[in-house]
Amino acid sequence: MTRIDDALAVTLNGLAAEDALVVAFSGGLDSTVLLHAAWRWSQTHRRRLRAMHINHQLQPAAADFQQQAEQICRALPIDCQSIKVKVIDEGEGIEAAARKARYHALAEHTQPDECIVLAHHADDQIETFLLQLFRGAGLKGLSAMPTEQIKLQRLFLRPLLTLSRAELEQYATEHQLRWIDDPTNADLRFRRNWLRQQLLPMLRQHYPGIDQALARVVEHCQQAQSLIDELAESDLAAVQRTEKTLSISRLLSLSAARQSALLRYWLSEQQQRVPNQQRLQDFLAQLSNATDRTECCYDGICLRVAGDALLQVPENWFRPIAEQHWQTDTPLFLESIQSTLQWRGMNNPEQPLRVSSLPSMSTKLSLAGESHRRTLKYLMQQLAVPVWLRAAWPCVWHGEQLLTLPGLLVTAEGERFLAEHQGEIILTGPIADCWQALQTPDALS
């Protein structure tokens, strides 16, 4: 048994008997050592094991690397699935964009009973810590990489974090392994490469024990972050209204530091990115005088307000609906709000219905069972529908008669029409889910 075998045993022996392993396999030294050691472990413990190679298509040799990785797997033999991804840099840098595409591909092409095993080692951990330090990260960033992590609804494992690259090289030599040397690892334009090849050698020359010292710092950061998460988890139980919403008044009763920690924890638990510290602080400062127009939008996510409720929704869910006609014998998918209208009933209308965004807020309506007419604005206010949700709610018409805002209200004309056709109109999707979350009674009230 080598130290690498021992490290794998510490992480993998605790898995459930039905769990299988998927090794993220680039074909480089680190993942080749991991794959070989994991294969040995799987043989002893009779576990399913396969490899997955992510082809980022970022260099001319990418196809050759994929072929070599597949050859290495066949020699063991281990099944290897190669996935090509398209890396889109949205301003975070090509390294971060490639990492994002890689993690999504790994999660998308694995099953819930498969654990994804990554080859990060102690040197990678130190590099990650320094990169986070230089960008001014908080404790969570300085905690670098955890051994176990739930991400994108998959379990990611890093069993080699306590081992140095030198130990991996020794293992590869002893077992006569062959691997791929990626020339981009020598490209100093990438910050991690510069740090690895220029900064760290200088630091080690002047501070011989710096690797061990930085490893201790990472461990201290992880312990401190764990304590913060435990407190945030306790606060969340007291502040959460429903599964998807927080109480703003109870959130504001906490200290500023606990407010920030709670929001970060809440978003992380929902597998969402967290806004930077300044944006988060500015948003929290606005909450004491919040209206339903108060929001914090970043990276495609919006934190939105509805009365005392705070919830997070994708930014692009709530867009105006292009007017269209609907033959009710088939469901109508509304792409702009990622929602579906469905007719349920005995008799489908012969003529298509019309679907649109809300008319003018001054439009007057008579609701089902009522004779008097009230403005749409008044009705929205009475229902406490936040402004940001109103703008995207679909309206269903028969000719010039407004029948219903499905899930919100039915007009007097709509009641007659639906009764005549013995039907109802159902809205499903994120709009309806969001409204349901706001209507669910506060669990702590």
State the binding site: 26-31
Residue 52 in tokens = 């997955």
Collapsing DSSP to helix, strand or coil, 235 comes out as helix
Distance CA 20, CA 411 (A): 55
Dihedral-angle region of residue 120 (phi above 0 means left; psi in -120 to 50 means alpha; beta otherwise): beta
| 212's tokens | 């061990």
Please count the other Cβ atoms lying within 10 Å of the Cβ belonging to residue 186.
Answer: 11
Kind of pairing, strands 49-55 and 20-24? Answer: parallel
- The CA distance from 245 to 442, in Å, is 9
311 sits in which H/E element: strand 309-314
Would you list the DSSP string of 138-164? -HHHHT---SEEEETTEEEE-TTTTS-
Q: Measure the CA–CA gap between 403 and 356, rounded to whole angstroms.
A: 12
Cα gap 269→305, rounded to integer Å: 19
User: Strand 324-326's sheet: what is its strand order?
Assistant: 324-326, 353-356, 395-398, 401-405, 409-410
Phi/psi at 343 (5° precision): -90, 130
The answer to whether the CB of 274 falls within 8 A of the CB of 287 is: no
SS3 for 337? helix
Token pair listed for 119 = 């080859």
Residues belonging to the binding site for ATP are 26-31
Rounded to the nearest 10 degrees, what angle do helices 210-239 and 256-269 cross at? 90
